[in-house]
Chains A and B, each alone.
Chain A
Amino acid sequence: MERFVFLVAAGTADGVVFALFALSLVLIWRSTRIINFAAAAMAVAACYLALATTTLTGSYWIGLLTAVLTGAALGAAVERGIMRTTQNPLAGVILAIGTVMVLQALTGILAGPEYRPVPTPFDDRPLSVAGVPTLSPYDLFAITVAVLLMTTLRLLFTRTSLGLQMRAAAFAPEMSRLLGVPAARMRTIGWILATAVGALAVMLALPGDLGLHPHAGDALFVSAFAVAVIGSLDSPEGAVIGGLLVGVLISLVTGYLGAGVAPLGVLALLIAVLLLRPAGLFAGAEARRV
């Protein structure tokens, strides 16, 4: 029972980070109907720069800020430089794959293939509550940051003029342009937001794993994709619930069956959802199919 509680607690902490990364996919999907297959590679590249800054200045917080800013800059560059040129979703995926190859090769050449340990600002040993090990201070920090960020994004989209314009540009680009919304700029802002969120998510996820590596984000991307599909690609709320679900599931599978089985758990869940409820668990009724 103690083990179960601990695994669920650890899974919740992981799940919040998955949800945050899945949110980055959902943000881009909503505005452009493209799954950003380069999300992990972009975030990892930003984290390398963050780690360099942390090593240089000695401050974790400056590093974290660097990750977010670099993520945002990369998002703007990739959207303006590469993605802008096509409206075709298949070409979009292929371009994203090209971006992944370029970024992973560059980080491999510049930083080498070693695993680099990532510092944590707080202790990452689990606290005991009534003798049962649960969350660590670092987990609490990650959860707090993720929840704050998700709340901010929700407020941005529901309460501000910018959020309204972004939703309008994503929903009906032609119409919103006629009404004076700079739709292209809204797309770029969507990408910037999404990639900054993605960089932050990978930054929060890293210390739990082996460390920073050119391919460190690959497994996280697959989990986040599963989360986004489970929560239906369109829904931020779905991403949050799906993230918690997948996080707890992976944690339980890892804890009881071994770390090697975790990717199989994600795969099985993804296949099950696609076969049984392909639109995601939280999709609303489809109003129009064509």
Chain B
Amino acid sequence: MKQRILLFTVAGLVLAIGGTFLLDPYRNYLLALIAAHLCAIAGLGLLIGRTGQLSLGHAALMACGGYGYALTVNATETSVPGPLQPVLGLAAAVITAAVVGLLLGTAGARLHGPYLAGLTLAVVMALPALTNEIGGLGGDQGLMVAFRSVPESLSRLIALEQWQAWVALTVAAVVLAVLSMVDAGRTGVRMRAVRDDEVAAALAGVHPGRTKVLAFVVSAASAGAGGGVLCFVDSGVRPGGYGVSLSLLLVVAVVVGGTGRLAGAAIGAALVVLLPWLIGQATSAVDLSPELARRLDGNLAVLLFGLLLIWLTLAAPAGLVSLLRRPARRSRTSPTEPSVTPIPTLEKDRQ
């Protein structure tokens, strides 16, 4: 199983990197953004699909990754050779997010019900205050990191945006491979057992609280990797970019891809990055009054995402792909594929 996952990952990565030669620089930049969001979305998908927990704070965890990256890169600027800095930065991004995830998971994940969702929402609301109050995080301005150009040996061959896309795709591939292995391995079975019946899982020797916290930590670490990549691509991190709206978009992306389906996460990531951009293109093509254009900017995308979220949750809990795959014959008796999880139950009804 592990070898298959590795094979798929390497093949996918080679294909994707080859694909970057077909894109112009701006589209490569968008591809890098998609890959960065994909890390967070895949992690959130694992959390929602396999343990039935909902986090509304993954944007804050991405921000943790961004700050971890920025602080490390800035701290090691003189002591560590240049090419090693981003690697250390990304490791720090993952660790920072995982530690914060452990704290949040311990407070919220052990419990039933909507506690984790509310707690993580409170975290993402408090993020601007946190960056203002903790010295060294730069307040509203955030942190900047030194601009990184293409390595010497590649600079003749590819442009900056393509290099950024390569780095982002590589990180995303590693994250996806790790998440697939967790999902396919023992931990994945435990997570599903806890999701389906906590008492039965506990009787079978699975510790429900520990399993849920572990899932949250893995998911947070993925989000941290995504945030680190975003900081690398944008040469900085600002708290304004990681608000509630990004958190909600990540949830939309997970539901669009189908909860618990890692491959679907890519579709979700592409949608949340590309749809606002496409709408921006469309509204600027149509002749609108400046006031109306300002109001539509951003809001129209959120409106569409909200409608999509409601419609998909009601009509196709297994994601957009399931609609494309079996358009006509979705009979009631046909068994669901094992890899596809409809939205799981958050908790047993306690009455």
| Residues of chain A whose beta carbon lies under 8 Å from any beta carbon of chain B | 33-35, 37, 82, 85-86, 88-91, 93-95, 97-106, 108-109, 112-113, 171-172, 218-219, 221-222, 225-226, 229, 233, 260-264, 266-267, 270-271, 274-275, 278, 288-290
Q: Judging by beta carbons under 8 Å apart, are A225 and B132 in contact?
A: no
Known contacts: A90-B48, A264-B130, A274-B111. The answer to whether A101 contacts B302 by CB under 8 A is yes
Bound-complex Cα distance A100 to B133 (A): 29
B113 interfacial contact with A, CB 8 Å? yes
Q: Which residue of A lies closest to B110 (CB)?
A: A278
Q: Judging by beta carbons under 8 Å apart, are B303 and A106 in contact?
A: yes
Q: Judging by beta carbons under 8 Å apart, are A225 and B126 in contact?
A: no
B160 interfacial contact with A, CB 8 Å? no
Bound-complex Cα distance A53 to B346 (A): 40
Beyond A86-B314, A229-B115, 15 extra complex contacts between A and B, CB < 8 Å: A33-B350, A35-B118, A90-B48, A94-B255, A97-B248, A99-B310, A100-B306, A101-B252, A102-B303, A225-B121, A226-B118, A261-B129, A267-B123, A274-B108, A275-B107
Q: Judging by beta carbons under 8 Å apart, are B306 and A101 in contact?
A: yes
Known contacts: A88-B343, A94-B251, A270-B119. The answer to whether A105 contacts B126 by CB under 8 A is no
B345 interfacial contact with A, CB 8 Å? yes
Q: Judging by beta carbons under 8 Å apart, are B122 and A172 in contact?
A: no
Known contacts: A33-B349, A90-B346. The answer to whether A101 contacts B129 by CB under 8 A is no
Selected contact of A37 from candidates B52, B117, B344, CB within 8 Å: B117
Q: Judging by beta carbons under 8 Å apart, are A105 and B303 in contact?
A: yes
Q: Judging by beta carbons under 8 Å apart, are B303 and A101 in contact?
A: yes
Known contacts: A97-B248, A109-B296, A274-B115. The answer to whether A102 contacts B347 by CB under 8 A is no
Residues of the B chain whose Cβ atoms lie less than 8 Å from the Cβ of A109? 295-296, 299-300, 303
| Chain B 278-322: CB-based contact to A (< 8 A → 1; otherwise 0) | 000000000000010011101110110111111001100100000
Interface size for chain B: under 10, 10 to 19, 20 to 34, or 35 or more residues? 35 or more
Residues of the A chain whose Cβ atoms lie less than 8 Å from the Cβ of B296? 109
Residues of the B chain whose Cβ atoms lie less than 8 Å from the Cβ of A106? 299, 303
Q: 4 tightest A-B contacts by CB?
A: A101-B306, A105-B303, A98-B309, A90-B346
| Chain B 52-67: CB-based contact to A (< 8 A → 1; otherwise 0) | 1010100000000000
Q: Judging by beta carbons under 8 Å apart, are A99 and B119 in contact?
A: no
Known contacts: A93-B346, A102-B310, A105-B306. The answer to whether A264 contacts B54 by CB under 8 A is no
Q: Judging by beta carbons under 8 Å apart, are B121 and A222 in contact?
A: yes
B244 interfacial contact with A, CB 8 Å? yes
Residues of the B chain whose Cβ atoms lie less than 8 Å from the Cβ of A99? 306, 310
6 A-B pairs within 8 Å (CB atoms) are namely A82-B310, A172-B351, A222-B125, A260-B129, A264-B129, A267-B123
Known contacts: A94-B251, A94-B313, A104-B302. The answer to whether A89 contacts B129 by CB under 8 A is no
Q: Judging by beta carbons under 8 Å apart, are B351 and A89 in contact?
A: no
Residues of the B chain whose Cβ atoms lie less than 8 Å from the Cβ of A37? 56, 114, 117, 121
Residues of the A chain whose Cβ atoms lie less than 8 Å from the Cβ of B117? 35, 37, 93
B106 interfacial contact with A, CB 8 Å? yes
| Chain B 21-52: CB-based contact to A (< 8 A → 1; otherwise 0) | 00000000000000000000000000010001
List which B136-186 residues lie within 8 A (CB) of chain A.
none
Q: Which residue of A lies closest to B314 (CB)?
A: A85
Q: Judging by beta carbons under 8 Å apart, are B302 and A225 in contact?
A: no
Q: Which residue of B lies closest to A91 (CB)?
A: B343
Q: Judging by beta carbons under 8 Å apart, are A88 and B295 in contact?
A: no
Q: Judging by beta carbons under 8 Å apart, are B114 and A35 in contact?
A: yes
B75 interfacial contact with A, CB 8 Å? no
Q: Judging by beta carbons under 8 Å apart, are A263 and B310 in contact?
A: no
Selected contact of A264 from candidates B111, B133, B347, B351, CB within 8 Å: B133
Q: Judging by beta carbons under 8 Å apart, are A89 and B306 in contact?
A: no
| Chain B 88-119: CB-based contact to A (< 8 A → 1; otherwise 0) | 00000000000000010011101101110111
B199 interfacial contact with A, CB 8 Å? yes
